[in-house]
C-alpha cells in the first residue's frame, strides 16, 4: 500500500508581500504594470529589484528607476534593453 504525502506549492521569487514599499506602491497604483510584474518569472523580477536597489549611493535615482520599471512593464517588456 502507498503512503500519503502532503505537497505544498509556494510561489518562487519575490512576491508582492516581499517588495519594498515604494515598489509595491507603484505596482498597486498601476494595475497593468502590477499584473505584468506578477506574471514575470522570478529571474526578471529579481533583475528589476536588484537594478532598483543598486541606487544606494544615489538615492535620488531610485524613484526614477521605479518609474522606469513601471513604464517597461506597461510596455510588456520583461527587462531593460
- Residue with cell string 505537497: 7
Q: Provide the pLDDT for residue 12.
A: 67
Distance CA 31, CA 44 (A): 18
Q: What is the pTM of this model?
A: 0.82
Distance CA 50, CA 77 (A): 17
* 15's grid cell: 512576491
Does the pLDDT at position 10 exceed 90? no
5-30 burial, b at 16+ Cβ within 10 Å, e below that, comes to eeeeeeeeebeeeebeeebeebbeeb
* 25's grid cell: 506602491
User: Where do the structural domains in the chain lie, given as residue ranges?
Assistant: 16-74
Amino acid at each position: 500500500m502507498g503512503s500519503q504525502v502532503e505537497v505544498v506549492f509556494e510561489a518562487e521569487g519575490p512576491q508582492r508581500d516581499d517588495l519594498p514599499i515604494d515598489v509595491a506602491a507603484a505596482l498597486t497604483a498601476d494595475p497593468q504594470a502590477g499584473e505584468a510584474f506578477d506574471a514575470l518569472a522570478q529571474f526578471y523580477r529579481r533583475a528589476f529589484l536588484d537594478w532598483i536597489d543598486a541606487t544606494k549611493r544615489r538615492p535620488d535615482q531610485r524613484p526614477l528607476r521605479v518609474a522606469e520599471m513601471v513604464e517597461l512593464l506597461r510596455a510588456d517588456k520583461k527587462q531593460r534593453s
